[in-house]
């Protein structure tokens, strides 16, 4: 905080006093001191009472509205302005940081422009409804859980867990889920039978493990994993290494004959987000494992999927959301 201007500011009243203090006799000096002492009780700035108009610094001669207030007030103004500036920097930073994981709070609003929720990816899944039925599913990067709940409802999965790195999105997902539960008649048996919507759960967490060594304790526990519009965000935040680890983890978490449903973003969609954080920028610059390499990697011995097929290309009206969806079989 720059206080220099505030320190040199002089009250006009004190300048007037100074002009009247022209006497050089002892008496006048005593008088002068008395005035100083009197003023001292009113203001701490009295010590500058001897300063003449000519001594006034330029900042006090051409004063801005802000400078016209008392020093104390101006200090407050300066402090509060500084606060506003600091606030706006924080707010700007927050805005930038807010969606660093693709954790958009209105994601399904962008994707589904109509009032009624209809995700065109569900049309692609429709042709494979048997693949979903009675399966234990993990939906990685579930956002606010809208699609997770819809998949559970439409395809009669045995259970589904939605996982997301953003705690607020998980809270939102629970709210949506609770609304679904409240729609049921009071005497419903769904809870007892563990069927929709009581077969849905949400978990907050980062799918990328702190260390690759943790892959060693990974156990098969799902029959299907959904990895939809997520790879770009893992890639940008955790680099080639993080994404490769996530692919290995998906394989390890699947039971034999399990399937991975993968909808990856193409590399040309990365550039727009490359400057959100320094880490993202560094990771982006260092990428050597490109989306066109994902298939070969997933089918390689390093991961282990047996085969892969194109599930479909959703007919989204926005070209950016038309991403091919693939099935990888364990």
Q: 159 pairs with which residues across the strands?
A: 136
Establish if 289 lies at the interface with ligand SAM (CB under 6 A): no
Alpha helices in 166-277, H assignment, sequence order: 167-182, 190-193, 231-253
Segment contacting ligand SAM by CB under 6 A, of 90-98, 163-171, 249-257, 296-304: 163-171
Residue 163 touching ligand SAM (CB under 6 A) = yes
- Cα diameter, the chain: 109
Among 60, 172, 223, 229, binds ligand SAM (CB under 6 A): 229
Min CB(91)–ligand SAM separation in Å: 21
* Choices 58-66, 86-94, 175-183, 204-212; region in contact with ligand SAM by CB under 6 A: 204-212
Q: How far is the CB of 197 from ligand SAM (least distance, A)?
A: 18
Which of 71, 141, 145, 239 is the binder for ligand SAM (CB under 6 A)?
Answer: 141
State how far the Cα of 214 lies from the Cα of 16, in Å rounded to an integer.
Answer: 78
CB-wise, 242 or 258, nearer to ligand SAM? Answer: 242
C-alpha 308/C-alpha 304 separation (Å) is: 11
State yes or no: residue 162 binds ligand SAM (CB under 6 A).
Answer: no
Report the DSSP pairing between strands 254-263 and 222-228: parallel
Q: Do the beta carbons of residue 240 and residue 291 sit within 8 Å?
A: no
CB of 217 to ligand SAM, least distance (A): 18
Query: Under DSSP, is residue 117 helix (H, G, I), strand (E, B) or coil?
Result: coil
Q: Which stretch binds ligand SAM (CB under 6 A): 98-106, 187-195, 217-225, 312-320?
A: 98-106
Q: Are 240 and 288 in contact (CB under 8 A)?
A: yes
Kind and range of the H or E run holding 16: helix 12-20
Using CB under 6 A as the binding rule, whether residue 260 contacts ligand SAM is answered as: no
Token pair, residue 281, equals 């920028």
Identify whether the C-beta of residue 181 lies closer than 8 Å to the C-beta of residue 159: no
169 binds ligand SAM (CB under 6 A): yes
Instruction: Tell me: does residue 206 bind ligand SAM (CB under 6 A).
Output: yes
Count of beta carbons in the 10 Å neighbourhood of residue 61: 8
Of residues 77 and 209, the one with the C-beta less far from ligand SAM:
209
List contacts with ligand SAM (CB under 6 A). Answer: 101-103, 107, 140-143, 147, 163-166, 169, 206-208, 228-230, 233-234
């Amino acid at each position: 905080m720059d206080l220099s201007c505030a320190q040199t500011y002089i009250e006009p009243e004190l300048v007037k006093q100074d002009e009247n203090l022209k006497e050089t006799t002892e008496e006048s000096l005593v008088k002068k001191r008395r005035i100083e002492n009197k003023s001292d009780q009113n203001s701490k700035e009295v010590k500058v009472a001897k300063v003449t108009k000519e001594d006034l610094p330029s900042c006090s001669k051409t004063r801005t509205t802000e400078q016209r207030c008392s020093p104390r007030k101006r200090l407050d103004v300066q402090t509060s302005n500084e606060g506003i500036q600091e606030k706006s920097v924080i707010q700007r930073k927050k805005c930038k940081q807010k969606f660093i994981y693709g954790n958009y709070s209105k994601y399904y609003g962008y994707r589904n422009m109509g009032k009624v929720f209809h995700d065109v990816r569900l049309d692609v899944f429709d042709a494979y409804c048997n693949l979903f039925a009675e399966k234990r599913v993990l939906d990685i990067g579930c956002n606010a859980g809208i699609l997770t709940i819809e998949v559970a409802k439409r395809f009669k999965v045995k259970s589904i867990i939605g996982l997301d790195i953003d705690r607020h999105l998980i809270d939102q997902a629970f709210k949506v889920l609770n609304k679904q539960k409240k729609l049921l008649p009071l005497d419903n048996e769904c809870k007892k039978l563990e069927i929709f919507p009581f077969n849905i759960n949400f978990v907050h967490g980062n799918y990328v493990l702190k260390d690759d060594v943790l892959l060693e304790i990974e156990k098969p526990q799902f029959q299907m994993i959904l990895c939809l519009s997520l790879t770009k965000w893992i890639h940008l935040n955790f680099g080639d290494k993080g994404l490769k680890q996530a692919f290995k983890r998906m394989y390890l978490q699947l039971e034999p004959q399990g399937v991975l449903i993968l909808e990856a973003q193409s590399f040309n969609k990365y550039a727009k987000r490359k400057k959100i954080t320094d880490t993202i920028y560094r990771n982006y610059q260092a990428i050597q494992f490109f989306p066109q390499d994902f298939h070969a990697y997933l089918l390689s011995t390093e991961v282990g999927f047996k085969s892969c097929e194109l599930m479909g290309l959703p007919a989204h009206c926005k070209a950016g959301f038309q991403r091919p969806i693939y099935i990888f079989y364990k």
